[in-house]
Amino acid sequence: MQLILTKHVQGVHVGAYFLYAYGIVFVGIAILGHFKEPRIFMPHLLAAVLGIVLIISGAAYHRVASTRAQRPNQSKEPTASRRYI
């Protein structure tokens, strides 16, 4: 059970890193787009906002995964042995 939980938490960490990477890419696209064509404002603003939201989401996801790794079994669901007592 611990091995499965460890692999799940590692997968969540990888997902958080992908969110960071996508956020950085979108912020980079917004900055590069602003320097290439400064008159088109709205797509650059939307790309920047999306990038920032992705970075914040990655941080939140990473924090939840770290919390879950420290406290692995905090489910309120009764176990099978206690369910019929």
| Range of lowest pLDDT (7-21, 48-62, 63-77) | 63-77
Task: Please name the residues in contact with 69: beta carbons below 8 A apart, sequence gap of 6 or more.
Answer: 5, 6, 9
pLDDT in tens, 11-31: 888 889 999 999 999 999 999
What pLDDT does 13 receive?
82
pLDDT in tens, 28-48: 999 999 999 989 889 999 999
Determine the Cα–Cα distance for residues 6 and 16; give it in Å rounded to an integer. Answer: 15
* pLDDT band at residue 82 under the 50/70/90 scheme: low
